[in-house]
Amino acid sequence: MTNTSAQSKPYPVSFTAASLRPELARIVAQAYLDCGDRKQAKALVREGNLLQSRSPASASRLEIELRHRLQKLTHRQLEILADAPSDARQAIAWLAALKHAPILFAFAVDVLRAKMEHFDTVLRPSDYEDFWDAQVTHHPELTRLSSSTRVKIRTVLMNMLREAGIMEMDDGLSFGRPVLPPDVLEAILSDDSKWLAGFLVPDDEVKLLTR
């Protein structure tokens, strides 16, 4: 079983600037694919206010966060994000978040996937609290976060899980493994199969897929 709790590299928490926002991520991806240059794409998105932000400051925060996430994607993954149907864009947006923010990957693997292995698909408040306490042991920088930032991390994480099709929209407690479109699965396998764990794919199935 994959376990990420022993990782000690400081966690970035900038992901709280936005949830998955796959439609906006698509715009940033398309701008880069059109320009072929990240600086030009950045200028295109900001100067044209393509993300439809209400203020220059919010536009800057959103563009920076989405750009940083998308920099983790392969060219093929960017193409899917820009051109594929909404379910594939949703999956790639979650993949980008997993790659950019290790705490998201840790939660998906160490909490959700681990619970599914025991046929438990209900997320309880204590599950998150136990996860946070375990992460603090290996990431003491988390203790320096303000209470409002800690609340925001939890809120954005839960929103992302709903947007990714992992957390049920109705009760906010039940979760399940999302369906991966074939092109997304292929793009992940050609990159690094470890990211499938973030989609709650068990290790034995990952091994079968990589044979």
Whether 3 maps to a domain, the answer reads no
Percent of the chain with pLDDT over 90: 82
Q: Are 168 and 174 in contact (CB under 8 A)?
A: yes
- pLDDT range class, residue 135, cuts 50, 70, 90: very high
Residue 172 lies in a domain: yes
Across the range 89-104, mean pLDDT stands at 97
- The domain in which residue 20 lies consists of 15-209
Please give the angle made by the CA atoms of 184, 188 and 193, to the nearest 5 degrees: 140
HSE-CB at 18 with a 13 A cutoff on CA atoms is 25
State the pLDDT at residue 6.
47
Question: Counting beta carbons within 10 angstroms of the beta carbon of residue 90, is it exposed (0 to 12), middle (13 to 18) or buried (19 or more)?
Answer: buried
Q: Is residue 60 part of a domain?
A: yes
Banded model confidence at residue 54, pLDDT cuts 50, 70, 90: confident
Instruction: Check whether 208 has a pLDDT greater than 80.
Output: yes
**How confident is the model over 147-174, as pLDDT tens digits?**
999 999 999 999 999 999 999 876 668 9
CATH code where residue 186 lies = 1.10.3540.10
Q: What is the pLDDT of residues 107-131, one digit of tens each?
A: 999 999 999 999 999 999 999 999 9
58 belongs to a structural domain: yes
Count: domains in the chain: 1
